[in-house]
């Protein structure tokens, strides 16, 4: 997996991409767009700067996002993930319907001192098995550079 470093106005992070996956800056919304060559879905990572040294609970931030989207999940449907250093993440999966079209979503929040990173991956329902584990591995590779980096 090759490291990809993102530094933007709202924060910085590093993520490891497997062979066949690429990243590009999202000029419209900010952050990084990640996809597999010929893949079915798109992973969007969006950093948000927090107060210096401020650490927030990623699960609380994820629940707040889900509540805003009117998505109800049980507590056991959110998975906590330890990341490098003082960072942690929380992720969940759900399905949304828009008319007759169903979409698979894997969303998460990663936090570290002074950093918050929102992640959302989506693809047509039924195609998620092809990329699910790779997307999870990418999310588990998230690192927030320290001031010394």
Q: Identify the residue with better confidence: 12 or 134.
A: 134
Mean pLDDT to the nearest integer, 61-80? 83
Sorted by where each starts, the structural domains of the chain and their CATH numbers stand as 2-140 (3.40.1000.10)
CB crowding 63-81: b at 16 or more within 10 Å, else e: bebbeeeeeeeeeeebeeb
pLDDT tens by residue, 16-65: 999 999 999 998 888 999 999 999 999 999 998 777 767 788 999 998 88
pLDDT tens by residue, 81-131: 999 888 999 999 999 888 889 999 999 999 988 889 999 999 999 999 999
Reduced to 3 states (helix: H, G, I; strand: E, B; else coil), residue 24 is strand
Write down the pTM of the prediction: 0.89
User: Residue 147: pLDDT above 60?
Assistant: no
Q: Identify the residue with better confidence: 71 or 148.
A: 71
Instruction: Give the residue among 106, 29, 30, 42 at the shortest CA–CA distance from 71.
Output: 106
Q: Cα(95)–Cα(98) distance, rounded to whole angstroms?
A: 10
pLDDT of residue 69: 80
pLDDT of residue 76: 72
pLDDT of residue 90: 95
pLDDT of residue 134: 96
């Amino acid at each position: 997996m090759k490291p990809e470093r993102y530094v933007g106005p709202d924060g910085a992070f590093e993520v490891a991409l497997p062979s066949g996956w690429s990243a590009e800056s999202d000029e419209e919304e900010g952050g990084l767009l990640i996809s597999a060559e010929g893949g079915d879905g798109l992973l969007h990572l969006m950093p948000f700067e927090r107060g210096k040294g401020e650490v927030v609970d990623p699960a609380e931030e994820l629940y707040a996002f889900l509540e805003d989207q009117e998505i109800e999940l049980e507590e056991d449907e959110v998975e906590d993930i330890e990341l490098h250093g003082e960072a942690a993440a929380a992720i969940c999966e759900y399905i949304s319907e828009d008319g007759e079209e169903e979409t698979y979503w894997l969303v998460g929040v990663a936090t570290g001192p002074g950093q918050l990173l929102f992640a959302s991956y989506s693809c047509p329902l039924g195609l998620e098995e092809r990329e699910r584990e790779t997307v999870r591995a990418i999310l588990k590779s998230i690192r927030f550079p320290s001031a010394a980096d």
